[in-house]
Amino acid sequence: MTPATARSRGIEAPAPESAAGALGLTLDPVTTAEFLADYRELRPLVVARAEPRRFDGVLCDADVERLVCESAIRMPAFRLVKDGAQLPPSTYTSDIPWRPGSFSGTALVDRVAQEHAAGATIVLQGLHLHWHPAAVYCRGLEAGLGWPVQANAYRTPAASRGFGVHHDTHDVFVLQVCGHKRWRVYEPVVELPLKGRRWTPADEATVGDPVADITLQAGDTLYLPRGWPHEASCADSDSLHITVGLHPPTRIDALCAALGECGDDVEFRRGLDAGGELPDALLDRLAARLDPDAVARRARRRFVDGRRPILDGQLTQTSGLAQRLTLQTPLQRRETVIADLELTGDGGASLRFEGKELRLPAQASEALAAAYCARSPFTAAELPGALDAAGRLVLVRRLVREGFLKLLDP
């Protein structure tokens, strides 16, 4: 099973075009197959390009200016750091009283600008949660890789650095948006650390000489596997880069997920022996839950259920929907939806996406499968299966309201 393919029980849908687009933007001319085989979790990768505006569609310098200066941005969507330390938020934010509560942690733009001019890095956190172009880009990577993805942005002034030497507990793509930045990369102190294994002063004391000294130019990509210590600094140029965090499931995750399902077995619910001994048969019962198909199913379900909806235009989509939607209204599956469709034992179908599960009866399963697999516009009248005209309208109306489909001419 390739990460880019959405599988279900008997039904398979092609990966959206956005998956290839996001991966191509990030990696070209390196292919996704080359990245997964030769670099993932193994070694850093630098993709140098002469394309200064390559990543502007995700976030550009003018976007940062607007977010910081015009949007009344609030913590934790941003913070300031300098030389490895976070500046006290009280020095550059304020709480604005407003009934029934207050707008807490709101940027004081003049103070943010002063601190930035004095060497502080502006960190835009969780960019995929509040900046639509970044959300769409990250969702394309998620569709292509099959892993959760996040994004932060860092605007660092010349002759400054935001953080000292440290490692991350997730893999990262670094997209250099504008300016240039020097990166020193070191051999891992801990190979592939888990989330709880944070960087410590003792780790820094054991770091040797850099194994790579790289200056990223605008349009370049750097990949760092988790656990590779690094530090970045600006010399004679301001810099803006996006750090894309990758969170593939680990083998420990797979084991924990299998163990989490063992609560339905009374042998796992029995009290622990005073001596700590576990029956051999207990491990056999756990092993029975670890066949590859079951492991892949659990990982896929957790991934699909955990995707956050990206619902641009949804107010317009649902306003007066019952009156506007007809059998001839052009519809399309949302590009940002990652979903699985499974056939149920009674001939019906279960559609899972974005934390939802829609269960539909047998007479609707063929039409639902067609909508699920569609990668081009269609109308309710074109859906196959046993539903009559009214039933097809009920189906597509619900899928629009749930954010799975959208009207192309709302």
Q: Domain ranges for the chain, please list them.
A: 6-246, 251-296, 314-407
- Whole-structure pTM value: 0.93
Query: Tens digit of pLDDT for each residue in 216-237?
Result: 999 999 999 999 999 999 988 8
Q: Which residues of 48-64 are buried (b: 16+ CB within 10 A; e: fewer)?
A: eeeeeebbbebbbeebb
Domain 314-407 has CATH 3.90.930.40: yes
**Average pLDDT over every residue of 160-177:** 93
* pLDDT exceeds 60 at position 2: no
By C-alpha distance, which of 149, 162, 141, 195 is closest to 19? 141
From 2.60.120.650, 3.40.250.10, 3.30.70.3400, 3.90.1150.10, which CATH number describes the 6-246 domain?
A: 2.60.120.650
* pLDDT exceeds 70 at position 1: no
Query: Percent of the chain beyond pLDDT 90?
Result: 87
Cα separation, 148 vs 17, in Å, equals 18
What's residue 410's pLDDT? 60
Tokens standing for residue 195: 């989330």
| Banded pLDDT at 6 (limits 50, 70, 90) | very low
| Banded pLDDT at 84 (limits 50, 70, 90) | confident
Q: 153 with 121: CB under 8 angstroms? A: no
Query: Tens digit of pLDDT for each residue in 356-389?
Result: 999 999 999 999 999 999 999 999 999 999 999 9
Measure the CA angle with vertex 407, ends 404 and 410; round to 5°.
135
| Banded pLDDT at 258 (limits 50, 70, 90) | very high
